[in-house]
Amino acid sequence: MTALAPGAAQDVPGIATLRAMMSGNASPRINRTLGFALIAVEDGMVVFEGHPDQRVHTRIGTVHGCFAATMLDSACGYAVHSQLDASQGYTTLELKIAHHRPPTYESGPVQAEGRVISIGRTTAFAAGRLFDRHGRLCATATSTILIFPLE
């Protein structure tokens, strides 16, 4: 995951970029493909909401693990992005997912919350949690993120 979409203004701080993306409904393609959107942004914290439909269901009626993993990767990365300045980019170095309960079609909209645990000059650590519409924990994640200068 990179900090800015191709062609995005590179003089805008991360949190402003995310807020503009959220208010303008200009989400990255992966978000549109899988059906989730950024719904909240604060310094070091973001929330995505997703609607797992038949595109992401397995043959046994659960939501494929990639859906939770992608939402949590995005939540962790965007939480870090919210604390970067315009000259910085990022990419996920490591992502660890733990699935606690399988979301299903009946789980309704799910929310992935990402929070920065710590951030340095070149590395950040973030954590994410995915909840179903009943507030039940479905998955958690921890992420190590590389921060680098944009050229």
Rounded (5°) CA angle 9-44-6 = 25
- Residue-level pLDDT at 10: 59
CA distance 56 to 65: 9
Work out whether strand 137-149 and strand 45-50 pair parallel, antiparallel, or are unpaired: unpaired
- Residue-level pLDDT at 39: 93
Specify the residue for token string 């606690």. Answer: 100
Q: Calculate Rg over the CA atoms of the chain.
A: 15
CA distance 74 to 22: 14
Amino acid at 58: T
What's the pTM? 0.88
DSSP state of 35: T
Q: Which CATH superfamily is domain 14-149 in?
A: Hotdog Thioesterase (3.10.129.10)
- Residue-level pLDDT at 4: 43
> What residue ranges of the chain have pLDDT lower than 50?
1-9
Over the stretch 29-52, which tens digit does the pLDDT of each residue have? 777 778 889 999 999 999 999 988
DSSP bridge pairs for 137: 131
- Residue-level pLDDT at 137: 97
